[in-house]
Amino acid sequence: MRAHDRPDPTPVTPALLREWRYESAPSGTVLVVGGARQVPGAVLLSGIGALRAGANTLQLAVVERHASALGLAVPEAMVLGLPETESGAVSAEALDVLADVLPDARSVVIGPGLTEVDETAALLERLLPEIGRETSVVLDAFALGAVSAHPELAKPVAGRIVLTPNTTEAAFLLNRPGEPVDDLVGAALEIAERYGAAVNLMGVVAAPDGRTWRDGTGHPGLGTSGSGDVLAGLTGGFLASSPDLAQAACWAGHAHAMAGQRLIPRTGMRGILARELLDEVPGVLVELQL
């Protein structure tokens, strides 16, 4: 559909979010899978994001060498150690460890801190078909790269998956790597249809059925390293309270953006650290739920 023929996205506002009333919904377990040798902190950011969004129970899965340290850093979580390749990537054999916890997960976040597209693709090929039919899935970072190279990987979880790409990752998902993604709404809609997913692309949320929303509260400071890991975790946390993919994506995107807004008076746009966003999320949610 050409831009001038499609309806404008629905604005994401506090009034709209209050209609969805997440605070009274029962929550569940979020499992975050990632944390290669070089980037274990990405799982920490996503996991705490899930807790801030209301996850009842948190499970974190990283390469074995980082499991104990992560368990001490996030005492609220159960931490699983995964096998790694010689280069430090999470091995596709990780399913042997994850099989016992997958049935209890309400949502699974895959991608924060993963490395190596080919090994990640092999992991997704084994992992995604084993995820329960009532479980929602968030794919981020290298998991998006793997799915863009092998779109068939997403088929086992089509209709219950949220993708959180930046514009570079969106170009790969559209099979147009290197091309600019200027029409965010059109790109989000195309990705949503192609992968049977809800998509949060830089504040534009598209549902598989063609509905769209736009959140205008973000700013360039949210491009800081690790910010996407926080967004993925928040999305997983909201999905633990509701199976509605688009609502969870809108809630997560707004909480993420408003947390960044609250930091500006202290840090400006250049000095934001992703971990600081996590401490602002509860205040944002309290204000939204009044």
Per-residue pLDDT of the chain (290 residues; tens, 9 = 90+): 556 567 899 999 999 999 887 555 668 999 999 999 999 999 999 999 999 999 999 999 999 999 999 999 999 999 999 999 999 999 999 999 999 999 999 999 999 999 999 999 999 999 999 999 999 999 999 999 999 999 999 999 999 999 999 999 999 999 999 899 999 999 999 999 999 999 999 999 999 999 999 999 988 889 999 999 999 999 999 999 988 999 999 999 999 999 999 999 988 878 899 999 999 999 999 998 85
Q: For the chain, how big is the Rg over CA atoms in Å?
A: 17
Q: How far is CA 15 from the centre of its chain?
A: 24
Model confidence pTM above 0.85: yes
Whole-number Å distance between alpha carbons of 34 and 178: 26
Domains of the chain: 28-211+219-284 (3.40.1190.20)
The total of other beta-carbon atoms located within 10 Å of residue 176's CB is 13
**Residue at token pair 């950011």:** 45
Q: CA-to-CA distance for 241 and 258, rounded, in angstroms?
A: 20
